[in-house]
Amino acid sequence: METSAWDVPTIIVKAILYAATLTASGAVFFLAYSGSLLAQLPRRRIHRVIGILIVLSSVVTVMRVPMTAGNMAGEFSGIFDPTLMTMVWRGGEDRAICLRLGGLALAAAALRSRRRWLVFAIPGACLAATSFAAIGHTHTKVPNGGPILLVATHLLSAAFWLGALMSLRVVASDTTPVEIGLLARRFSSMALAAVAVLIVAGTVLAWLLIGRVSALWTSPYGQGLAIKIGLVCCLLSVAAFNKWYLTPRLLLNDSRALLSLRRSIHCEMALAAAILLATATITSVFGPV
Per domain, the residue ranges of the chain are: 7-284
From CA 47, how far away is CA 241, in angstroms rounded?
28
Work out the percent of the chain whose per-residue pLDDT is above 70. Answer: 93
Residues recorded for the chain? 289
DSSP characters over 21-34: HHHHHHHHHHHHHH
Q: Which residue, 268, 126, 108, is CA-closest to 188?
A: 268
Three-class SS of 43-109: HHHHHHHHHHHHHHHHHHHHHHHHHHHHHHHCCHHHHHCHHHHHHHHHHHHHHHHHHHHHHHHHHHH
Q: HSE (CB half, 13 Å, CA atoms) of 222?
A: 14
DSSP state of 285: T
Half-sphere exposure of residue 146: CA atoms within 13 angstroms, side-chain side: 6
Q: Position 246: which residue type?
A: L
Query: pLDDT of 126-166, one tens digit each?
Result: 999 999 988 765 555 555 556 788 889 989 999 999 999 99
* Torsion of Cα atoms, 276 then 282 then 288 then 289, to 10°: -140
pLDDT of 215 higher than 60: yes
pTM of the predicted structure, to 2 decimals = 0.91
| Mean pLDDT of all residues in 194-199 | 85
Q: 7-34 and 40-73 helices cross at what angle (nearest 10)? A: 160
Q: How far apart are the first and last CA of the chain?
A: 12
pLDDT digits (tens, 9 = 90+) for 249-265: 999 999 999 999 999 99
234 or 147: whose pLDDT is higher?
A: 234
Q: Which amino acid is at 177?
A: P
Phi and psi for 74 in degrees, rounded to 5? 80, 10
Does residue 216 have a pLDDT over 90? no
pLDDT at site 144: 57
Percentage of the residues of the chain whose pLDDT score is greater than 90 = 54
Residue 145: what pLDDT? 56
pLDDT for residue 287 is more than 80: no
Q: How far is Cα 129 from Cα 253, in angstroms, rounded to an integer?
A: 35
Torsion sign over Cα 70, 73, 77, 83: negative
In contact, 276 and 19? CB cutoff 8 Å: yes
Question: Of 171, 155, 202, which Cα lies nearest the Cα of 265?
Answer: 171
Stronger pLDDT, 73 or 272, i.e. the higher one = 272
- Give 28-61 pLDDT, tens digit per residue: 999 999 988 998 889 999 999 999 999 999 999 9
Residue 277 identity: L
pLDDT given at position 127: 96
Rg, Å, the chain Cα set? 19
pLDDT digits (tens, 9 = 90+) for 97-112: 999 999 999 999 999 8
State residue 189's pLDDT score. 86
- Choose from 83-97, 139-153, 195-209, 252-266 the range with maximum mean pLDDT: 252-266
8-state DSSP, 56: H
CB contact at 8 A, 126 and 103: yes
